[in-house]
Amino acid sequence: MIVGLDMMQTIGACLILPALAVLLTLLFGRWPNVREGSTLLVAFALGSMVFSLLGPVLIGARPSLTLWEVIPGVPLAFTVEPLGQIFAMIASLLWIVTTIYSVGYMRGNDEHAQTRFYACFAIAIFSAMGIAYAGNLLTLFLFYELMTISTVPLVAHKGTDEAKRSGRVYLGILMGTSIGLQLVGIIACWILAGSLDFVPGGLLAGKVEGWPVLLLLALFVFGIGKAAVMPFHRWLPAAMVAPTPVSALLHAVAVVKAGVFTVVKVVVYVFGLDLLNGTAGTEWIAAFAGFTILAASFVALRQDNLKRRLAYSTISQLSYVVLAALILAPLSVMGAALHIMAHAFGKITLFFAAGSIYTAAHKTEISQLDGIGWKMPVTMGAFAIGALAMIGVPPTAGFVSKWFMLSGAYEAQAWAAIAVIFASTVLNAAYFLPIVHRAFATKPAPVDPEHDHGEAPTPIVVALAFTALGSLFLFFVPDSFLALAEQLVGGRP
Amino acid sequence: MPSLLSQNLPALQVVLPLVAAPLCLFLRLPRLAWLFALAVSGAAFAVSIALIVLVQQNGAFSYDMGGWAAPWGIEYVIDPLDSVMLCLVTGIATLVLMYAGPSVEAEIPRRQIPVFYVLFLLCLTGLLGMVATGDVFNLFVFLEISSLSTYALVAMGRDPRAQTSAYRYLILGSLGATFYVIGIGLLYMMTGTLNMEDLARRIPEVAETRTISVAIAFLAVGLALKLALFPLHKWLPGAYTHAPSVVTAFLAATATKVAIYVLVRIFFTVLGPIEAFQTLPATVSETQLVGVLAILAMMSGSAVAVFQYNLKRLFAYSSIAQVGYMMLGISMVSVTGMTGGLVHMVNHAMMKGTVFMALGAVILRVGSPDIRRLDGVGYRMPVTMAAFVLAAFSLIGVPGTVGFISKLYLVRGAIEGGHWIMVAAVLASSLLAVIYVWRVLEVAYFRSRPAGAAPVREAPLVMLAPMWVLALANVYFGLETTYTVGLTEAAADYILNYVPGEGPTWEHPLFEDPHGHGDGHGTGHGAGHAPEQDAHAPGVDP
């Protein structure tokens, strides 16, 4: 371990560091350079801590840190397991990139209340780490709700009536589903199993069967509102009113991935694949995810606002993960875990590009993007790579995850799921490729030279180039993620 | 000496503030009266801590006032639940009094300040006495001490409407107290005793009589009035809104809780052997009337709160809903449910204490608790409002706060009992809480300060410190529940499985004919008769 910490202390550090970033941000609020410099420093430290846990997890260690019992039998506990490690690695790595990006974006757009912004951002990352490493449902729920609360100020950041209205929708749906459905599911598990620990093979295995399993599964899949399964998806388009770094890291990575991560985690560690395979009717819940994939894609087709189109694309992509997990084949569950990674890199690139366009050209609608590719070649090049990753074309990471999902579905003979994935691939292409085409192949509308623009500020360009390359890199070298996903389902299927 | 002191702790707990109260009158300087009252309540808090330790070591014990053995003399009984309640009440009183100084000086005319502290300490005495006593009539006396002083305290509010509110509270509160005393009168008529344990022993013999049914009805209605159970809550919003800020914080955190405690004590221990609580809805057979009222309280309280502009009134309605939560847990009549109800009693004291303290600080600096005048107050008074935010999240039941723990146990109790409507009601009511809390936070943090508004300072440190102690308690006890859940679970278990002891072996002078000798005994507090009992050495019974 680095700097002489043992594994328990490293887990502790992974939680303390983002909390420290919150403090430093508030403390140095008056000096923007110190504030952002310290955030960046902490982000790097966090990244190295998280990655130092990768080795032990790959050789089968499951380091854990148990603090104290909150309620009898249910402690505040953290355990590093493969799926959580995937999520933590993505979140911490992309936090570094986003911090660099934010500096360019927030200053380039002269945003107000930047200290509040950075502080809430760091709290959201803190909760993401807590969710990733949570050792039981209670700990997970604690950080899940903290994440909701800390991101509402980011959504309502602008303080306009529209922003506040969006904040209300966001809070209402996320809190409503988590308190109204998920909490009931958690308490039911507590009563049924007497504990809330994540157990390989399933906490509820052998403790309940038949329709109550189905009911519980529904409580979780719909109660985890962050996974945005229809009809609880409206908060995500509403959240697009936030500044772009928020949409990029939180609403393409941390928050939404926390949602699908929780779904996968609950399916694997609370129910267990065997229990769900032995329960009739799970395909009905999977059908909701399948419907969401298609319906959100159709809505995305009709959006002219770039960020809203990306948001509906995210809704659709999140349901890939839910659907893949609910196919209940080990290969498809691997696909779900890998898609968390693949979508993260692809979608953050797309959002970074959208923010880059907004900063440099002040354009938000797709119809305004004629010929912008030649003025902002790096931005739009990265956008093209991100789009390919969303469609799932080699050589991008999106192909890897889709491959696993499809092989899992084939193995489970889930023909409907295969049909949905193919149809949506076509739809993905239909709503992403025209943007790329418009950017590079159409003539730009004439502008007067005073309003002409080039590339966005350097921090922005560096950040989006990095994530785009990451998307390509992970196609060629997905080894560690692949190994983690294999461990999640207990060895290569 | 220490043993003598520790033997008399239960008496000291109540007598200390009682004796100290009038002394405040002699301290003409407001600051002196304040410090004196603070010192007294601090001492009372220390006593309650000592009592908790004693109960933890030796279990429940009783204390005979003036050396007169129960059931003839007045007995004080300190069991696990009592010790928790005493600690809660004195702890809140100490924090509120620490906070009181600047707020009282700003809201109460200078020459009335010593009187204010007299009344405050009397109110504290009453609440402590109600908890500590083991005698139903003595309980009534303390109930009146606390109520009368509360009416006067409410009437001291700056707003002229405080007096109408106090008047309404006086009328309804007196009705409640009268109903209670009628109830215990009827019980006394049938059993010839006022001692709680003795009553519990004798009540099964006469359980089937109509007199006892009537007594139960009077007790239920009287106590429901006192604890503001829907639909008998009409006194509460006005009283909380117009009372001085300090009084609101104290009442919201303690008064209704003690009334609920009394209800639990009367119905589950005194009347426990005949399961009076379960037969309460005698007229609405097969329906848990209390549960239904609790649900209505939760829904209506939260729903009305959503539409309030005055924040004190908003959180007063929220309190009505929270009383509903507590009664809901109690109405489940299961250990989990009762734990939920009781732990929410403790937890809600922390939440509402913080909320009303923060509102008091806002009133002190901004001058008004009206939401329309609080634009951007989150940036004008950041420390105060941060405490408010913590308490507000706790009110919603965000995990990591005490509100979540309450909700966890309430929902668990409801699911275990198969009460699905209760589950839905708890969840729906907390979602309404999201709405009313968010309204406030949005105004406080997402609106800019009105142009031309005078800059305000943060509240003074003596107000911030106790506020933050309570705010952090919301988080601490939300993550570490050994004390709150542990103690209330033990209390719930104790209460639900309560069996009165064997009682004294000697013959009670009135035992032969409980119907014939009602006169004299009830008002005498045991001091008037049976001197021969002196021989039975009183003291601490383990």
Q: Residue B10, class by beta-carbon neighbours within 10 Å (0-12 exposed, 13-18 middle, 19+ buried)?
A: buried
pLDDT surpasses 50 at B85: yes
Confirm if A318 and A331 have CB atoms less than 8 A apart. no
**CA–CA dist B328, B350 (Å, integer):** 19
Would you say residue A298 lies in a domain? yes
Would you say residue A421 lies in a domain? yes
Would you say residue A78 lies in a domain? no
Residue B541 is predicted with a pLDDT of 42
Give the chain B residue nearest A191 (alpha carbons): B412
Whether the CB of A41 is below 8 Å from some CB of chain B: the reply is no
Residues of B in contact with A138 (CB under 8 A): 399
pLDDT surpasses 60 at B496: yes
With an 8 Å Cβ cutoff, are A159 and B448 in contact? Answer: yes
Out of A149, A172, A188, name the one closest to residue B398 (CB). A149
DSSP-assigned beta bridge partners for residue A79: A64
**CA–CA dist A284, A287 (Å, integer):** 5
More confident residue, B49 or A202: B49
Q: Residue A192, class by beta-carbon neighbours within 10 Å (0-12 exposed, 13-18 middle, 19+ buried)?
A: middle
- Left (φ > 0), alpha (ψ -120 to 50) or beta: where does B61 sit? beta
Residue B282 is predicted with a pLDDT of 42
Would you say residue A410 lies in a domain? yes
Residue B275 is predicted with a pLDDT of 67
List of E strands, B280-404: none
pLDDT surpasses 50 at B533: no
Over residues B120-175, the pLDDT tens digits come to 999 999 999 999 988 889 999 999 999 999 999 999 888 888 889 999 999 999 99
Residue B135 is predicted with a pLDDT of 87
**CA–CA dist A65, A134 (Å, integer):** 10
Total domains present in chain B = 1
Would you say residue A267 lies in a domain? no
More confident residue, B462 or B278: B462
Over residues B394-411, the pLDDT tens digits come to 999 888 899 999 999 999
> Which residues 6+ apart lie within 8 Å of B163 measured at CB?
B155
Tokens 């009783």 identify what position?
Answer: B62
Would you say residue A348 lies in a domain? yes
Residue A403 is predicted with a pLDDT of 87
* Per-position b or e across A463-489, b if 16+ CB within 10 A of its CB: bbbbbbebbbebbeebebbbbbbbbbb
Residues of A in contact with B398 (CB under 8 A): 145-146, 149
Structural domain harbouring A373: 288-493
* B 385-444: CB under 8 A from A: 393, 396-400, 405, 407-408, 411-412, 415-416, 423, 427-428, 430-431, 434-435, 438, 442
- Which residues of chain A register pLDDT less than 70? 1-4, 445-452, 491-493
Would you say residue B374 lies in a domain? yes
B75-78/B61-64 β-pairing? antiparallel
Residue A448 is predicted with a pLDDT of 63
Closest among B349, B323, B339 to B474, alpha carbons compared: B349
Confirm if A204 and A193 have CB atoms less than 8 A apart. yes
With an 8 Å Cβ cutoff, are B442 and A156 in contact? Answer: yes
State the average pLDDT for chain B: 83
Name the token pair of B137. 């009539």
With an 8 Å Cβ cutoff, are B412 and A190 in contact? Answer: yes
DSSP-assigned beta bridge partners for residue A64: A79
Write phi, then psi, for B369 (nearest 5 degrees).
-95, 20
- Of A40-49, B51-60, B61-70, the least confident: B61-70
- Left (φ > 0), alpha (ψ -120 to 50) or beta: where does A371 sit? left
The complex's ipTM works out to 0.84
Q: How many Cβ contacts (< 8 angstroms) between chains A and B?
A: 74
End-to-end CA distance of chain A: 31
pLDDT surpasses 90 at B112: no
Would you say residue B36 lies in a domain? no
* A 81-140: CB under 8 A from B: 138
**CA–CA dist A65, A126 (Å, integer):** 16
Give how far Cα B78 sits from Cα of B194, B221, B270, Å.
Answer: 17, 26, 15
Residues of A in contact with B481 (CB under 8 A): 69-71
Looking at residue A121, the DSSP 8-state letter turns out to be H
Total domains present in chain A = 1
CA atoms within 13 A on the CB side of A32: 12
Give the chain A residue nearest B426 (alpha carbons): A180
Give the chain A residue nearest B404 (alpha carbons): A142
Would you say residue B354 lies in a domain? yes
Residues of A in contact with B430 (CB under 8 A): 179
Would you say residue A42 lies in a domain? no
Whether the CB of A19 is below 8 Å from some CB of chain B: the reply is no
Would you say residue B52 lies in a domain? no
Give how far Cα A204 sits from Cα of A79, A260, A266, A275, B387, Å.
Answer: 19, 20, 10, 8, 39
Overall pTM surpassing 0.95 (yes/no): no
- Of B214-218, B337-341, B532-536, the least confident: B532-536
More confident residue, B47 or A446: B47
pLDDT average, residue stretch B217-224: 89
With an 8 Å Cβ cutoff, are B397 and A179 in contact? Answer: yes
Would you say residue A224 lies in a domain? no
Structural domain harbouring B483: 281-497
- Which residue of A71, A147, A161, A241 to mutate against B (max B Cβ within 10 Å)? A71
Name the token pair of A470. 């990451």
